[in-house]
Amino acid sequence: MQSANYGRTTNGSVCPHSQIRTTACGATGSLSTVKGWCDGKISCEIQASNLAFGDPCPNTYKYLQVGYKCIILVVPTNVIICEHKSRTILCSGSSIINVLRANYGRTTDGKVCPHPSILTTNCSASKTLTIVQGLCQGKPRCELHASNGFFGDPCVYTYKYLEVYYSCITPVGSTNVIVCSHKSRTIVCSGGSTINVLRANYGRTADARVCPHPSIQTTNCSASNSLPIVKGWCQGKTTCVLYASHGFFGDPCIGTFKYLEVDYTCS
């Protein structure tokens, strides 16, 4: 999924209607919502409704505009981690992790992660994909923990597991951008190409040689929402502005001077 917007950015030539009060209207969560419906699937159903996206411009007739492309992926790897356990996933060579699907909960019977306490097989933590992408997307390796501490407890008294589908992809000609905290930077793709965000992290994973500052207490700091936020800003666009700010990502490591690091390609 490259881009998505529920709202209105054109006049009455698109989805004509008598009630059009603005053409500068977009629901901020459009891309993440549509990605949740469609990413990694061979088909999906999309719905243009306030119920799914909220109402970004009342009294204006809206539409859902989606930009996507079909890609051939290698056969994904499936990983299941039983509750209270952890596991490292990794890609070899110069390839990086591309998270396709993830769920913390339980959708099968006791054959998977058997346990005497199974009250439901219809259990899913809603933010699993976002959290796993924040931990792993675009990295050569990452460690996953199947824990209520990371995902919450979507079904109390049921023994859960974390299931992740991912593939290893090799980015070609990617660009790395670093924006120090409290700064912004514009990235641009020329010649009609659009931005494809591979990886994003707001926090700190390097020493003081990157965005030097006297206040660095950790180099193991990542905001789990980094990737979906940056994708919302940039994915499928020819240009966008990156903001390195607590106001967008929260503060994943108080007392440490942070930066936003983004890897992207123009495609």
pLDDT tens figures, 143-189 = 999 999 999 999 999 999 999 999 887 766 678 899 999 999 999 99
Mean pLDDT over 251-257 rounds to 95
Angle at 185 between CA 248 and CA 201, to 5 degrees: 50
Look at 2-6, 68-72, 183-187 and tell me which has the smallest mean pLDDT: 68-72
Task: Give the burial class of 39: count Cβ atoms within 10 A of its Cβ; 0-12 exposed, 13-18 middle, 19 or more buried.
Answer: middle
Backbone angles phi, psi at 7, to 5 degrees: 160, -135
Write out pLDDT tens, residues 179-193. Answer: 999 999 999 998 878
Average pLDDT, the chain: 90
Q: DSSP letter string over the chain?
A: --EEEEEE-S-TTSS--S----S-EE-TTHHHHHHHHHTT-S-------HHHH--SSTTS--EEEEE------PPPEEEEEETT-EEEEE--TT-EEEEEEEEEEE-S-TTSS--S----S-EE-TTHHHHHHHHHTT-SEEEEE--HHHH--SSTTS--EEEEEEEEE--SS-EEEEEETT-EEEEE--TT--EEEEEEEEEE-S-TTSS--S----S-EE-TTHHHHHHHHHTT-SEEEEE--HHHH--SSTTS--EEEEEEEE-
* Residue 59 covered by a domain: yes
Q: Is the distance from CB of 92 to CB of 148 less than 8 angstroms?
A: no
Q: What is the pLDDT of residue 171?
A: 65
Of 254 and 93, the structure prediction assigns the larger pLDDT to 254
Q: What is the pLDDT of residue 36?
A: 87
Look at 44-48, 72-76, 188-192, 232-236 and tell me which has the smallest mean pLDDT: 72-76
Percent above pLDDT 90 for the chain: 66
Q: What is the pLDDT of residue 42?
A: 76
User: Do 95 and 52 fall within a single domain?
Assistant: no
**pLDDT band at 2, cuts 50/70/90?**
confident
User: Do 82 and 162 fall within a single domain?
Assistant: yes
Side chain identity, residue 132: V
Which residue has 């088909």 as its token pair?
43
| CATH code of 123's domain | 2.60.120.740
**pLDDT band at 203, cuts 50/70/90?**
very high
User: Do 141 and 215 fall within a single domain?
Assistant: no
User: Do 160 and 184 fall within a single domain?
Assistant: no
User: Do 132 and 185 fall within a single domain?
Assistant: no
User: Do 150 and 182 fall within a single domain?
Assistant: no
Q: What is the pLDDT of residue 5?
A: 93
Q: How many domains does the chain have?
A: 3
User: Do 63 and 96 fall within a single domain?
Assistant: no
* Residue 200 covered by a domain: yes
User: Do 196 and 261 fall within a single domain?
Assistant: yes
Residue 50: domain span: 3-67
User: Do 84 and 148 fall within a single domain?
Assistant: yes
| Residue 117 clears pLDDT 80, i.e. is over it | yes
* Residue 72 covered by a domain: no
Mean pLDDT over 77-85 rounds to 96
Where a domain ends, among 44, 67, 90?
67
Where a domain ends, among 135, 169, 203?
169
Q: What is the pLDDT of residue 71?
A: 63
User: Do 153 and 90 fall within a single domain?
Assistant: yes
Q: What is the pLDDT of residue 43?
A: 83
User: Do 186 and 222 fall within a single domain?
Assistant: yes
User: Do 141 and 203 fall within a single domain?
Assistant: no
Distances from the Cα of 167 to the Cα of 151, 200, 263, angstroms:
22, 18, 18
Where a domain ends, among 154, 169, 184?
169
| Residue 53 clears pLDDT 60, i.e. is over it | yes
**pLDDT band at 209, cuts 50/70/90?**
confident
